[in-house]
Structure 1
Amino acid sequence: MALPLCWAEDRYRDDAGPYGRNLLMDRLMCGIEDGESSEGSNFNPQFWETLGQAFKATSQEATKISLAYSKPPLPSEEDCQKLSDGLLNAILATSTLYYSLPKKQGITLRKTIREAVADVIEGTMQLIEVILNSRIQSLSQAQLVSTGSVWEACDQFEQLPKDNHAAVVSIVSGYLGVVKDALEEMEQALAGGEDPFSDVLEDDITGARGNQDTYWSEADRRLIAPCLGLMKASKACLKKVLGAMKTHGKVETADQVAQLDDLADITQEVSPSVDELALSMYPPMNQAAVRLNAAKLSSVLKKVLEITRSSHVCPDTESGWVQFLNNAIDHNMNKIKNLTQDAL
């Protein structure tokens, strides 16, 4: 595998010193990109153990540098070279391992590992930046925080998914959590009475406002009901898809891995669509915008159900809830259309 060009540059830059900004910033910045191992490569079953060791080594080397530059005297040029070599080799090992993870193991899995490795590199860059900008008298608070950030980034290895099924389950669980929060926020606003902004807007003089743009009308509230139904269908859809993936999801074949990636891609669109609909529901309500955003969300949910139905996570035993949710989406969308005819 070809390494990034910047790793093959001269080990040290004369204009930056043996441990200068150019050496570390340039090398670390290009330590990881969205590359791909050769298509013919096989997945090494020792990958996860080796990656864990690389994360641990990076944490240890970052700690060495932080301690060496925590108080005077500064390390000698020879010691500085050893320290920088140790850190750069650990970073190189980590990014090289990422490159060796084939896409056939799962796009979602690769993305998750890339983000984890990027967190390690970015944390290390921040630590070096703090050291380069500090006066070496004593261990600064900023240096302590930056060192802790590197430790935290490296420690996350233990929580990383080790196959595409676990990666997709984790990411869809996150999407479900965001949708739950959006739904709860809207329900709380509705339960707060006629004025959804009562907790954030206040008249300093009278304690009351006459701006009717902050209130829902009766027509607005009739429209809100099916919109809320669509948001609830979004939550139910993600919850059922997640349950089906946990029960039936597999990574034994390339098709199964790809189907899980497809589900990760389409479910990613649900939360932003829910947010757009929720925002358009607040007063002053534009019914045409609400109808448009509801139609967008309905389309996304239909696509989620379609992809789920055609995948291995949806055997015949799961088809009942798929049809039920399809009907619920249609029911609420038809109500929204009927209530917004005059807005067209």
Structure 2
Amino acid sequence: MFCENLMFVSVLNWIEVFYVLQDGEKLLESLLKSTLTLSTIFYWLPKSQGVTLRRQVRDATVEVLEGVTQLLEVLLSSPLPSLSREQLTSTGGVWSACDQFDQLPKENKGALLVVLSSQTGVVKDAIEELEQALSEAQDPFNDVLDDDQDEGNPRGNRDMYWSERDRQVMGPCQGLMKAAAGCLRKLASAVKANGDSAAPQNVAQLDDLADMSREISPR
């Protein structure tokens, strides 16, 4: 009787695995078609529509594909059948990457505005960090010079506070960053009002503006 029950349970398990594999095969076929479609759409987007736009579509496409790859790796490393927190997290990452496609700009003008907004945020963060560092009385170089101290190079007293010379340099730096932020805001306003992606020459000019704005915070 025990052997019969064991055999019955074993058969049920194999039936469950069979249907899971069938569903998985259909899912993988659908995933393959979607991946090929997504890649084809990107490659069909001509550079004449704007390099800036194409980069953002490429980055969004890569993010989806990387998310799918991570999800598949998680599924392959998980026992069958199972539902773990890691699987849910990876699935959510894929959905989040897919949702970003609805927010992608439709033309190079919009792509440039995305770049300008990003660079404005970088400059704003830098200004806030510098102002916070100047307002704090604690060691301004604590995060920067810890490695030297660990290697047996003691720090001098001059590295423990902002000197008068440091503050004299920081003033113009703050002014330069605020000027950069102002220029980016004015450029964004000008692009919103007058930007045009209709003519190839205008598209190229928008790409040039995007490249120049990235020089504010080169990576």
TM-score range, shorter chain: 0.7 to 0.9
Give yes or no for the alignment of 1:235 onto 2:159: no
**Contact 1:91 / 1:121 at 8 angstroms: preserved in 2?**
yes
Q: 1:261 aligns with which of 207, 210, 213?
A: 207
Q: What is the match of residue 218 of structure 1?
A: 164
Aligned CA distance change for structure 1 residues 193 and 199 (closer, same or farther; 3 Å): farther
Gaps of 5+ in 2: 1-15, 146-154
In the alignment of these two chains, the number of paired residues is 195
Q: Could you say what secondary structure the match of 1:245 adopts?
A: helix
Q: 1:191 aligns with which of 117, 135, 142?
A: 135
**Contact 1:123 / 1:149 at 8 angstroms: preserved in 2?**
yes
Measure the CA separation in 2 of the matches of 1:91 and 1:256.
32
Measure the CA separation in 1 of the matches of 2:102 and 2:176.
37
Q: What is the match of residue 249 of structure 1?
A: 195
**Contact 2:51 / 2:207 at 8 angstroms: preserved in 1?**
yes
Measure the CA separation in 1 of the matches of 2:144 and 2:200.
51
**Contact 2:137 / 2:161 at 8 angstroms: preserved in 1?**
no
Measure the CA separation in 1 of the matches of 2:32 and 2:89.
21
| Residues 1-344 of structure 1: pairs in structure 2 closer than 5 A | 72-75=16-19, 79-193=23-137, 195-196=139-140, 211-272=157-218
Q: Could you say what secondary structure the match of 1:83 adopts?
A: helix
**TM-aligned CA deviation for residue 114 of structure 1:** 0.8
**Contact 1:183 / 1:231 at 8 angstroms: preserved in 2?**
yes
1:158 alignment partner AA: D
Measure the CA separation in 1 of the matches of 2:166 and 2:25.
68
**Contact 2:113 / 2:191 at 8 angstroms: preserved in 1?**
yes
2:68 alignment partner AA: T
1:216 alignment partner AA: W
**TM-aligned CA deviation for residue 102 of structure 1:** 0.6
**Contact 2:141 / 2:159 at 8 angstroms: preserved in 1?**
no
Which structure has the highest helix share of the two? 2
1:190 alignment partner AA: L
**TM-aligned CA deviation for residue 227 of structure 1:** 2.2
**TM-aligned CA deviation for residue 196 of structure 1:** 3.1
**Contact 1:194 / 1:216 at 8 angstroms: preserved in 2?**
no
CA RMSD of aligned residues (A): 2.5
Aligned CA distance change for structure 1 residues 232 and 137 (closer, same or farther; 3 Å): same
1:223 alignment partner AA: V
**TM-aligned CA deviation for residue 168 of structure 1:** 0.7
Aligned CA distance change for structure 1 residues 139 and 195 (closer, same or farther; 3 Å): closer
**TM-aligned CA deviation for residue 76 of structure 1:** 6.5
Aligned CA distance change for structure 1 residues 182 and 77 (closer, same or farther; 3 Å): closer
Measure the CA separation in 1 of the matches of 2:157 and 2:61.
51
Measure the CA separation in 1 of the matches of 2:71 and 2:18.
16
**Contact 1:164 / 1:251 at 8 angstroms: preserved in 2?**
yes
**TM-aligned CA deviation for residue 73 of structure 1:** 2.2
Q: Could you say what secondary structure the match of 1:73 adopts?
A: helix
**TM-aligned CA deviation for residue 74 of structure 1:** 4.8
Measure the CA separation in 2 of the matches of 1:74 and 1:166.
49
Normalization by structure 1: what TM-score? 0.52
**Contact 1:176 / 1:235 at 8 angstroms: preserved in 2?**
yes
**TM-aligned CA deviation for residue 223 of structure 1:** 2.5
Aligned CA distance change for structure 1 residues 82 and 245 (closer, same or farther; 3 Å): same
Aligned CA distance change for structure 1 residues 94 and 215 (closer, same or farther; 3 Å): same
Normalization by structure 2: what TM-score? 0.80
